[in-house]
Amino acid sequence: MSVDKKRVIVALDYPDQQQALAMAKQLDPQRCRVKVGKELFTRCGPGIVEALQSQGFEVFLDLKFHDIPNTTAKAVRAAAELGVWMVNVHASGGRKMMEAARNELEQVNGSNTLLIAVTILTSMERSDLQEIGLDIDPLEQVKRLAALTERSGLHGVVCSAQEVKPLRDIIAPDFKLVTPGIRPADADVGDQKRIMTPSDAITAGSDYLVIGRPITKADSPIESLARIDAELSPLI
């Protein structure tokens, strides 16, 4: 089985298509994938995905669908028919929702879209969970939701890199772990609470690293990406 060497997903967290495409032009689709989130997709619609694909990029559509099973399943199908590389739902939507989404995805002829689930947002701590009625350590809730996601037939989860090792003890080796909150050692922490460096995350068992500002706010985004690649190369 070939090893996927392209582990970095650059978060294009911009308010409009012009800025997002300008950043994409400073990157290399042979060295990274890109993430389109809620703000950019809501403003620009499917056109931004198609524009990035025309530049050669594989797109992670990060919309975190969470609705009744049929609605979520149809949204996942629409993403697959758009040709995105990866799309996600919220694991807290439950087994029926996730199974419906996976079943719908399987009906899309020729689709290779990966379907993953969000466990707990990396900005959340135990106090945040308590406020929504979950008096539980974040790691325990992440493990519970990751196991449910795997049983529901999805390809992986989004989780903090600090949660990767405990998850690897309870899930299959090919279950994908996608980790935001990745910051090179010399980068600003920002609003992420549970973070890790790129090399530490890969060593822990992360499959894909979502990295935004350390690349997009760098003086030279392609050089920042190259430094991260060089850091990861011996590990994959």
- For the stretch 207-217, pLDDT in tens is 999 999 999 99
pLDDT of 191: 46
* Nearest partner of 158 among 223, 100, 86, 106, judged by Cα: 86
- Pairwise CA distance, residues 36 & 13, whole Å: 7
Mean pLDDT, the chain cut into blocks of 10 residues (236 residues total): 86 97 97 97 98 98 98 98 98 98 95 96 88 92 97 96 93 95 67 70 95 95 94 89
Q: Which residues, other chains included, contact 110 with Cβ-Cβ below 8 Å and sequence gap of 6+?
A: none
The reply to whether 192 sits in an annotated binding site is: yes
Task: Tell whether 78 is covered by a domain.
Answer: yes
Q: Which CATH number characterizes residue 103's domain? A: 3.20.20.70
Distance CA 42, CA 107 (A): 26
Domain assignment present for 1 = no
Q: Which domain holds residue 19?
A: 8-230
Predicted confidence at residue 187, as pLDDT, reads: 56
Q: 74 an active-site residue?
A: no
> If we measure between CA atoms, which residue out of 127, 182, 189, 191 comes closest to residue 158?
182
Positions of E strands within 114-203: 114-118, 156-158, 176-179
129 belongs to a structural domain? yes
Question: Which H or E run contains 33?
Answer: strand 33-36
Q: Does residue 87 lie within any of the structural domains? A: yes
| Residue 139 within a domain | yes
Alpha-carbon span 97 to 64, nearest angstrom: 12
In this prediction, residue 162 carries a pLDDT of 87
Main-chain phi, psi angles of 151, to 5 degrees? -65, -25
Crossing angle (nearest 10°) for helices 46-54 and 17-24: 20
- What SS3 state is found at 175? coil
Would you state the pLDDT for residue 123?
A: 82
Q: What's the confidence (pLDDT) of residue 182?
A: 87
Catalytic residue among 5, 6, 64, 217: 64
- Please tell me whether 122 is known to bind a ligand: yes
| CA-to-CA separations, 110 to 58, 65, 73, 79, 190, in angstroms, rounded | 16, 22, 17, 13, 39
Q: Is 203 annotated as a binding residue?
A: no
State both tokens at 37. 């989130």
**Does 2 reside within a domain?**
no
| Side-chain-facing half-sphere of 28: CA atoms under 13 Å | 12
Would you say 156 is a known binding-site residue?
no
Tell me if 212 is assigned to a ligand binding site. Answer: yes
Q: What is the C-alpha separation between 33 and 4, in angstroms, rounded?
A: 12
Q: In the chain, how many domains are there? A: 1
